[in-house]
Structure 1
């Protein structure tokens, strides 16, 4: 199975995510119970049914691949190919009726994300990227916009509550950075970055299933995405993420984060 190309894995991720679309859409803007997990984050039946459907489809198609998911943990992380899935990225958006929740899938080979999906069920959009193959939205190629310096950039700041509480000086610098700042959440800003609609994203306190799926989409669109120190994102990264439309802009952004 390791002979599968990045493009093959991306198509497989498209297929399994499309097959699971009915799960979140069945419950969206309808009555359902909301539970609290041990970390006090919300979870719903839609999260669990969507992940169960994704895991079953992956296991049926690729029984020798590993899987890491938000709701049901990990198996086979030592295997050459590992799928990393977030069934509903943005459960708070989902339970409040906002359409800006996503379904995220990354496929890792030897620990590196080589294919990724940002699927937006309520918006009817799917963003995909594969190593060496570019990125697209529903089959149409997309690219980050170039030539924008940080002082003229549109910056999205994800998880601002946590940033303000834990890194107030960083937050204050970011709020004075760029031409426009917007406080955002979850995965959609990365799709906007890859589509050339914004220029940078700063994120905080993420898990691997939050950040690894967006890496191939951003990189395939010509962007740069790392941790706050400029290191590549892996399963062991600390959950602090910076993404930019260009290498030049990313250098400026990392300098701002470092102060």
Structure 2
């Protein structure tokens, strides 16, 4: 993308976040029905998820009708286009339905197959994290600033995050447990916020598995723009989801990959 295209699309990214915020915030900590999308388990979805994605899609269709869309709630449209928006209207729905403000609206742009723009908007905390892959920024109650990851070379010094150990299969779990035992601290329940904290230099890595494209692609430009690294567990591209490792320090990332690359391939 040209510099002007990046500027225009970044401004539009904030318009999309504004539309999502309007829908999510009016439902947070209010009365609404919670539906379950998963037979034999629990995968919640609310009116906030659906309405926020519908609002974002309407704006994209009006302003960029040739762009594709991949959304968690309403599927794929023109997903082979040069530019494709990737949407998770409420990442962290379990947090949302329990009133915990560790959720966010994720909006990403994939250009020619690569993540090029990303946004995490959290309207209850009045925070936004966004990035272009070259730089990343924060705006919120603490003011505005450029995001930067922090130095942390060793696992023993690292603070790490994951949404829940239940993400890991019985094959994967022992490898995560061994890393947790060595790390300084691991925190759970973070959803998309953990990745934002890597970009903000508040923690050092996130390890997760079983992710979908809309769970991770919007976060990659934010972390990479802040100086971090996002790959799968074998060092390949993570933008389609699956097993994901995000680190603030490339040296730590390499050490974690050496531990995770031994995990047998997913069936």
The bucket for the TM-score relative to the shorter chain is over 0.9
- Is 2:19–2:52's contact at 8 Å kept on the other side of the alignment? no
Counterpart Cα distance in 2 of 1:61 and 1:23: 20
Q: Deviations over 1:55-107 (max 9, x none)?
A: 10111111110000000000001110000000000110000000111000110
Counterpart Cα distance in 2 of 1:247 and 1:47: 34
Counterpart Cα distance in 1 of 2:6 and 2:220: 13
Match of 1:109 in 2: 111
- Could you tell me how far 1:14 is from its partner in structure 2? 1.4
Q: Which consecutive unaligned segments of at least 5 residues does structure 1 have?
A: none
Q: Deviations over 1:165-222 (max 9, x none)?
A: 4522112212213211122331000111100000111011110000000000000000
Structure 1 residues 58, 118: closer, same or farther in 2, change over 3 A?
Answer: same
Match of 1:8 in 2: 8
Counterpart Cα distance in 1 of 2:152 and 2:101: 31
Counterpart Cα distance in 2 of 1:194 and 1:7: 21
1:127 is paired with a residue whose SS is strand
2:195 is equivalent to residue 190 of structure 1:
yes
1:233 is paired with a residue whose SS is coil
1:21 is paired with a residue whose SS is helix
Match of 1:59 in 2: 61
- Could you tell me how far 1:4 is from its partner in structure 2? 5.9
Structure 1 residues 254, 208: closer, same or farther in 2, change over 3 A?
Answer: same
1:116-131 equivalence runs, <5 A = 116-131=118-133
1:223 counterpart (222, 228, 241): 228
User: TM-score if structure 2 supplies the norm length?
Assistant: 0.90
**Aligned length, in residue pairs:** 256
Match of 1:135 in 2: 136
Match of 1:248 in 2: 251
Match of 2:265 in 1: none
Counterpart Cα distance in 1 of 2:74 and 2:147: 33
The RMSD of aligned alpha carbons is 1.8
Match of 1:28 in 2: 28
2:79 counterpart (77, 99, 115): 77
Name which of structure 1's ranges 63-72 and 35-44 shifts more when overlaid on structure 2: 35-44
Counterpart Cα distance in 1 of 2:44 and 2:179: 28
Counterpart Cα distance in 2 of 1:231 and 1:6: 26
Match of 1:207 in 2: 212
